[in-house]
Amino acid sequence: MTAQATKDLATSFGTASNRKGKYFSFKRFGAPLVIAAALLALGLWISSISLDSIEVRTLNWDYLWDRTREHLQLTVTASAIVAAIAIPAGIGLSRVHSKAVHGIVFAIANIGQATPAIGLVILLAIVWKLGFEVALVGLVAYSILPVLRNTLVGLEQVDRNLVEAARGMGMRPAQVLAKIELPLAIPVIVAGLRTALVFCVGVATVATFINAGGLGDMIVNGLKLQRWPVLITGAVVVSCIALTIDWLAGLAEDFLKPKGI
């Protein structure tokens, strides 16, 4: 290889490395900077305008923190339940090779997303009761499909030659699943969880209609009373929560996936 060719190769490698470094730097720090800028701009705008008595009762730290805590409680709890149900169900489906069984399970899982979110929550409240538990059931029903589907797809995409090789080495089915299949399927599974988390953040805003709290209170009250600072604050905070959770899930996806993928 000539000296010039060696130099060109080194330059190309350095350029690719720099691009990769810039990509990961933006991926790690770009979203938090955008979120911080949005919240700072919101805070400066709210502090620069005159608020009436109704807006003052809503736009304070105590009220905003209570609504945010309720929203996060709904989102995190629903997402944990979805993961606990959908991932084992997806693993079980990957062991069943019947298209009829797959069709039935996915039809049931799709009921939540086939129904408008507010309609699903209101329907549950009519036949059951009002409150946190009903909103939780609605969020789980709405968010379970992407995790179930991604778990099944991720496991089905694992190279069968690797699985057969592991079995040939004497690994039991549980060992093959834990050491070969799940690690290779992790990026796809976490992508499904990431989608479900963002779904939960958005759909949790309708929990206000059944007295389950959350930031939907601010959005709906701001809209009904035509208090635009209240409405915009609720919408911006929900958006920032969704972006933050998506960013954290992206970091988890990078951390959990095997090296070299």
Token match 């099944």: residue?
152
Tell me whether residue 26 is in a domain. no
The pTM (predicted TM-score) of the whole model is 0.80
Tell me whether residue 15 is in a domain. no
Residue 228 contacts residue 244 (beta carbons within 8 Å) = no
pLDDT number for residue 261: 54
Tell me whether residue 181 is in a domain. yes
CATH (domain of 242): 1.10.3720.10
Tell me whether residue 37 is in a domain. yes
Residue 167: exposure state from Cβ atoms within 10 A (0-12, 13-18, ≥19): middle
Tell me whether residue 212 is in a domain. yes
pLDDT in tens, the chain (261 residues): 444 443 443 344 344 444 444 445 556 777 889 999 999 999 999 989 888 888 888 888 899 999 999 999 999 999 999 999 999 999 999 888 888 888 888 888 888 777 777 777 888 888 887 888 888 888 888 889 999 999 999 998 888 888 888 888 888 888 888 888 888 888 899 989 988 998 889 888 888 888 888 898 999 989 888 899 999 999 999 999 999 998 888 888 777 776 655
Tell me whether residue 155 is in a domain. yes
Number of residues that this document lists for the chain: 261
Number of separate domains in the chain: 1
The half-sphere exposure of 100 on its side-chain side, counting CA atoms within 13 A, is 0
Q: Domain range spanning residue 155?
A: 31-256
Tell me whether residue 9 is in a domain. no
Q: How far apart are CA 92 and CA 212, in angstroms?
A: 33
Tell me whether residue 11 is in a domain. no
